[in-house]
């Protein structure tokens, strides 16, 4: 039987170190769940740019004259929650946390 030479050993150790640094499926799932559990911050630049409010009654009517009080995330096609879910991800703000079912932003599009 031949012994692995120094170069082979080094390559193996580099491979093991690299593999250990890769995210596991569990850590990727945890990250996705954390993003979903996190709530979209109204002050987030992307949210602020679209005038996101977690309460549709707080939308600036002067700035967003197209807004109607009956419009909210729960009735928007981009809301990813099931019926009755209070918070859910929105496809307009991927990875930024969930929006409230009674929220609103200027990207609103009725289902």
54 near ligand SF4 (CB under 6 A): no
87 near ligand SF4 (CB under 6 A): no
Neighbour-count burial of 65, counting CB atoms closer than 10 A to its CB (0-12 exposed, 13-18 middle, 19+ buried): exposed
105 near ligand SF4 (CB under 6 A): yes
Minimum CB–partner distance for residue 47 and ligand SF4 (Å): 8
Neighbour-count burial of 75, counting CB atoms closer than 10 A to its CB (0-12 exposed, 13-18 middle, 19+ buried): middle
Round to whole Å and give the CA distance between 39 and 97.
5
Total of chain residues touching ligand SF4, rule CB under 6 A = 13
Stretch of 2-10, 19-27, 60-68, 100-108 contacting ligand SF4, by CB under 6 A: 100-108
Which residues are CB-neighbours of 63 under 8 A, at least 6 positions away? 51
92 near ligand SF4 (CB under 6 A): yes
Q: Which residues bind ligand SF4 (CB under 6 A)?
A: 52, 73, 76, 78-79, 90, 92, 99, 103-105, 107-108
């Amino acid at each position: 039987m031949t012994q692995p030479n120094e170069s082979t050993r080094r390559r193996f150790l580099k491979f093991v170190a690299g593999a250990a640094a890769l995210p596991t499926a569990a850590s990727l799932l945890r990250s996705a769940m954390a993003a979903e559990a996190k709530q979209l911050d109204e002050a987030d630049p992307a949210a602020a740019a679209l005038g996101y409010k977690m309460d549709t009654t707080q939308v600036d009517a002067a700035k967003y004259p197209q807004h109607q009080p009956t419009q909210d995330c729960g009735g928007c096609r981009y809301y990813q929650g099931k019926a009755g879910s209070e918070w859910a991800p929105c496809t307009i703000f991927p990875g930024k946390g969930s929006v409230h079912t009674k929220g609103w932003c200027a990207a609103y599009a009725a289902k």
